[in-house]
Copies of this chain bind each other. A is one copy, B any other.
Amino acid sequence: MAVIKKATIRDVAAKAGVALGTVSRVLNDHPSVTPQARRAVREAIEALGYERDAVAGSLRNARTRMVACAIRDFDIPAFASYVKAAEAVFREAGYTLLLASTSNEKDVELSLLRSFAQRRVEGVMMTMSDEADVELAQGIASASMPIVLIDREMMTNVDRVMADHEDGADQATSHLLALGHRRIGMIVGDPAAYPSRSRIAGYRRTHDRHGVQVEERLIRNHVLSNEVAFRETTTLLSGDNRPTALFVAAVDMLPGTLRAIRAAQMVPGRDIGIVAGSDSDLAELGSPPISALSWDRGEMGRHAAEMLIERIRDKKPRPARCVRLPVALIVRDSAGRSNADQALK
């Protein structure tokens, strides 16, 4: 924590015996500087320990070289993976990342959007709690910087990166139906936003295709924390006519579900079939290993970052783009098997 006050571009100019404009040109690699002037400036910078002040530099021109990311909860490993991959791309391109959690709250989302604008952030990568909300749509539309939405689809005038969760839900549901399950419990997040909404759609679509009636009671939504996952799973398991399998379609809600299964003295895969909606170490290495839907999270973060950088670079208005990544079902050994009379094998 030294307290020397820093040298300015004028100090450098004086030391090098050139005008301050020349120093600026050297700093920005402008071509029209003679080698000797360039060298003199370089030496003066070295001698004075000069460091460019990014705040001052950003005042005149619009470029702050900062981008922001506002995500629901970034200690959810899946989200952390997006952000990590994105940050790497941003840093490579010379951008610094601002990060905030929104806790999926609309007010936080709006206030962050405002705060980012005040800081002249050049682009934003974010999730949105409610895709149908007018104020949020308005907030995004009136933002002065480009925005890329993560795992959202409705706002079609904004760039989006998403995984194909409806197809994933279809795969998971088909898998369970094929094993004979007819009552499949679903643990799912907030249907106001794409991932959960489309997972529910996929679940229904697949039931319809196989001519199986959906039992509404089995769809437990608004599960956004493991405490709620525990409660909802317990509810599902405690009634009579309990499901023979569970599709844990909310991201990172497997722990709460497994806790509830354990608390009910049941063994996953034997007493109840289970498919996780997002892959994790726990799914891979549990006993039994748990079948899970998987997509390339790094790819998702990288795509988002690249789209955003591209938008920032050429600001001509172009139609919004949408990248949809494939989801694959990794079959492990947890889906169980149910025959017509509902008894597990």
Give the interface of A toward B (CB within 8 A): 1-3, 6, 51-56, 58-59, 64, 66, 73-75, 77, 80-81, 83-84, 87-88, 91, 96-101, 114-115, 117-120, 141-147, 254-255, 258-259, 262, 280-282, 284-287, 317
Task: Let me know if A75 and B64 touch, CB within 8 A.
Answer: no
Q: How far is the CA of A91 from the CA of B101 in the complex (A)?
A: 9
> What are some 19 contacts across the A-B interface (CB < 8 A)?
A1-B141, A1-B144, A2-B141, A2-B144, A51-B114, A54-B119, A55-B55, A55-B59, A55-B64, A66-B119, A74-B83, A75-B84, A87-B101, A91-B100, A96-B100, A255-B284, A258-B285, A262-B285, A286-B286
8 Å CB contact of A53 from B51, B91, B98, B120: B120
Instruction: Give the CA-CA distance A280 to B180 in the complex, in Å.
Output: 33
Question: By the criterion CB–CB under 8 Å, are B101 and A99 in contact?
Answer: no
In the assembled complex, the Cα of A285 lies from the Cα of B257 at a distance in Å of: 10
Q: Which 9 A-B pairs have the closest CB atoms?
A: A287-B287, A75-B80, A99-B99, A75-B84, A255-B281, A80-B80, A54-B118, A54-B119, A282-B282
Find out whether the CB atom of B77 lies under 8 angstroms from the CB atom of A75.
yes
Chain B residues closer than 8 Å to A97, beta-carbon distance = 98-100
Query: Judging by beta carbons under 8 Å apart, are A146 and B1 in contact?
Result: yes
Q: Which of A99, A144, A147 has the most CB of B within 10 A?
A: A99
In the complex, the answer to whether A118 meets B51 with C-beta atoms within 8 Å is yes
| Identical copies of this chain, number | 2
The closest CB in chain B to the CB of A257 belongs to B285
Q: Which of B75, B81, B96 contacts A98 (CB 8 A)?
A: B96
The answer to whether A98 and B101 touch across the interface, beta carbons within 8 angstroms, is: no
A55 x B120 contact (CB < 8 A): yes
A315: shortest Cβ distance to chain B, in Å?
A: 9
User: Roughly how many angstroms separate A75 CA and B101 CA in the complex, as a whole number?
Assistant: 15
Candidate in A84, A87, A258, A317 with the most chain B CB atoms within 10 angstroms: A84
Which residue among A97, A119, A259, A281 has the maximum number of chain B CB atoms within 10 Å of its CB? A281
The residues of B that contact A51 with a CB separation of less than 8 Å are 114, 117-118
Contacts of A88 in B (CB 8 A): 101
* Interface contact B91-A84, CB-CB below 8 Å: no
Closest to A252 in B: B281
Question: Which one of B59, B74, B280 contacts A80 once the chains associate, using CB atoms below 8 Å?
Answer: B74
Residues of B within 8 A of A144 (CB): 1-3, 6
CB distance from A187 to the nearest CB of B (A): 15
Shortest C-beta distance, A105 to chain B (Å), equals: 12
Bound Cα distance from A99 to B71, whole angstroms: 13
Assembly CA distance A81 to B73 (angstroms): 10
Measured in the bound complex, the distance between the Cα atoms of B101 and A100 in whole Å is 15
**Cβ distance A246 to chain B, nearest Cβ, rounded Å:** 15
When distances are taken between beta carbons in the complex, the residues of chain B under 8 Å from A259 are: 285
CB of A333, distance to nearest CB on chain B (Å): 12
Instruction: Give CA–CA (A115, B97) in the complex, Å.
Output: 12
A268 vs chain B, min Cβ distance (A): 9
Using Cβ atoms and an 8 Å threshold, which residues of chain B touch A52?
118
| Pair B75/A81 contact, Cβ less than 8 Å | yes
Tell me whether A286 and B287 are in contact (CB under 8 A): yes
